[in-house]
């Protein structure tokens, strides 16, 4: 978890100076594996988050007097007491989750996938957004392709024709075949706009996966991300994973 996100989660703007230190010490301990801190370190974090920089002498006296802290193993360092650390873990659990993906809704609105209550779809959406935001465009196009494929399979399942999406050995057919069958089958009611757009996202992912000298660029995705969002939203409705409001 980024420190800015933790600041919002813990509403640091509403906390006293000493409470800010407690929470930041907890963040450093759990998220960065830095259990001990100096007054200078924590003052810099407070200032970097946009708050007034503390008077270090006054803050040091507050820390020394507080039961929330004990002395660290090195001179002029401090750490949270065991009791206070346990209290903060109860109040703010799992902030050290290494697999958490932090992203904005740059390609897909995450709340749309939250409605499905399916963690694997939410995770795919987070990976799509986060990879785009971090300039990992080949990774983004591959994840976009994968989400498209997963939702098409769910559309076949919803229509009760999922066997038509499989080969003779019971494995799902390639994405090109799934798209062609989904477009042609009347049980899967894909709009004309999506029929026109859907294959471009398969092609984009294929370029990143198979073209040796190709690297996906931001504009390759940016220029069609609205069409992708519309395609994914329609497939979510078709597959019955979310319900369209009347």
The string of pLDDT tens digits covering residues 38-55 is 998 899 889 888 999 899
| Same-domain check for residues 116 and 226 | yes
- Side-chain half-sphere exposure of 118, counting CA atoms within 13 A: 16
What percentage of the chain reaches a pLDDT higher than 70? 94
Q: Is 159 part of any domain?
A: yes
Would you place residue 206 in the very low, low, confident or very high pLDDT band (cuts 50, 70, 90)? very high
Q: Is 67 part of any domain?
A: yes
The count of structural domains within the chain is 2
Q: Bridge-partner residues for 70, per DSSP?
A: 79
| Same-domain check for residues 9 and 122 | no
Identify the domain boundary among 91, 123, 140: 91
pLDDT at residue 104, as a whole number? 60
Q: Is 246 part of any domain?
A: no
Which residues form the domain of 222?
Answer: 110-238
| Same-domain check for residues 186 and 125 | yes
What percentage of the chain reaches a pLDDT higher than 90? 72
- For 96-128, letters b (16+ CB in 10 Å) and e give eeeeeeebeebbbebebbeebeeeebbebbbbb
List the single range of 38-47, 64-73, 134-143, 200-209 with lowest mean pLDDT.
Answer: 38-47
Would you place residue 125 in the very low, low, confident or very high pLDDT band (cuts 50, 70, 90)? very high
Q: Is 99 part of any domain?
A: no
CATH number at residue 72: 1.10.10.10
| Same-domain check for residues 198 and 117 | yes
Kindly state the average pLDDT of the residues 7-15: 92
| Same-domain check for residues 76 and 136 | no
Q: Is 96 part of any domain?
A: no
Of the candidates 32, 13, 24, which has an alpha carbon nearest to the alpha carbon of residue 88? 24
Report yes or no: 22 and 52 within 8 Å, Cβ to Cβ.
Answer: no
- The pTM (predicted TM-score) of the whole model is 0.60
Identify the domain boundary among 91, 125, 143: 91
| Same-domain check for residues 80 and 145 | no
Report yes or no: 223 and 196 within 8 Å, Cβ to Cβ.
Answer: no
pLDDT at residue 99, as a whole number? 47
């Amino acid at each position: 978890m980024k420190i800015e996100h933790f600041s919002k989660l813990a509403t640091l703007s509403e906390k006293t100076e000493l409470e800010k230190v407690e929470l930041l010490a907890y963040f450093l301990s759990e998220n960065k594996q830095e259990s001990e801190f100096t007054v200078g370190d924590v003052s810099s974090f407070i200032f970097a988050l946009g708050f007034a920089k503390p008077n270090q002498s006054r803050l040091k006296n507050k820390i020394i007097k507080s039961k929330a802290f004990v002395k660290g193993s090195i001179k002029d360092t401090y750490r949270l007491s065991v009791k206070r650390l346990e209290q903060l873990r109860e109040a703010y659990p799992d902030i050290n989750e290494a697999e958490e993906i932090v992203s904005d809704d740059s390609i897909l609105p995450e709340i749309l996938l939250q409605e499905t209550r399916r963690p694997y779809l939410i995770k795919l959406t987070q990976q799509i957004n986060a990879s785009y935001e971090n300039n990992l465009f080949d990774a983004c196009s591959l994840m976009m392709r994968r989400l498209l494929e997963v939702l098409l399979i769910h559309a076949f399942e919803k229509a009760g024709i999922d066997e038509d999406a499989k080969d003779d050995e019971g494995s799902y057919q390639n994405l090109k075949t799934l798209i062609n069958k989904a477009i042609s089958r009347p049980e899967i009611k894909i709009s004309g706009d999506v029929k026109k757009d859907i294959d471009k996202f398969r092609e984009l992912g294929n370029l990143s996966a198979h073209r040796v000298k190709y690297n996906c660029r931001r504009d390759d995705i940016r220029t069609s991300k609205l069409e992708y969002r519309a395609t994914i939203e329609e497939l979510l409705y078709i597959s019955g994973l979310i319900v369209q409001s009347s």
